[in-house]
Structure 1
Amino acid sequence: MIDLIQVLAAADPQAADSANLVETFGIHGSHIIMQAISFTILAGVLWKFAFKPVMATMEEREAKIDSGLRYAEEMKVKLAEAEAEKKKILQEASAEAKSIVTEARQTAEARIEKSAQDAIKAAEDITKKAELQIENDRKQMLAEARSEISRLVVATAGKVLSKELTAEEKARYSESASSTLV
Structure 2
Amino acid sequence: MTDLIQILAAADPHAATAESAGLAETFGIHTSHIIMQAISFSILAGVLWKFAFKPVLATMDEREAKIDSGLKYAEEMKVKLAEAEAEKKKILQEASVEAKTIVTEARQTAEARIDKSVQDAIKAAEDITKKAELQIENDRKQMLAEARSEISRLVVATAGKVLAKELTEEEKSRYSESASATLV
TM-score (norm 2): 0.75
Tell me the equivalent position of 1:164.
167
TM-superposed CA distance for 1:74, in Å, is 2.5
Alignment of 1:109-148 (within 5 A): 109-148=111-150
TM-superposed CA distance for 1:34, in Å, is 3.0
**Residues matched between the structures, number:** 174
Tell me the equivalent position of 1:64.
66
Tell me the equivalent position of 1:97.
99
Unaligned runs of 5+ in 2: none
TM-superposed CA distance for 1:51, in Å, is 1.0
Matched, 1:13 2:16: no
CA contact (8 A) 1:146 1:181 kept: yes
- Aligned-partner residue type, residue 11 of structure 2: P
Tell me the equivalent position of 1:154.
156
TM-superposed CA distance for 1:130, in Å, is 2.3
| Identity rate, percent | 80
TM-superposed CA distance for 1:95, in Å, is 2.3
Matched, 1:179 2:181: yes
- Aligned-partner residue type, residue 56 of structure 1: A
- Aligned-partner residue type, residue 60 of structure 1: E
TM-superposed CA distance for 1:21, in Å, is 6.1
Which of 36, 41, 44 is the matching residue for 2:43? 41
- Aligned-partner residue type, residue 111 of structure 2: E
TM-score (norm 1): 0.76
Structure 1 segments of 4 or more deviating over 6 A?
Answer: 14-18
Q: What is the Cα-based RMSD across aligned positions, in Å?
A: 3.1
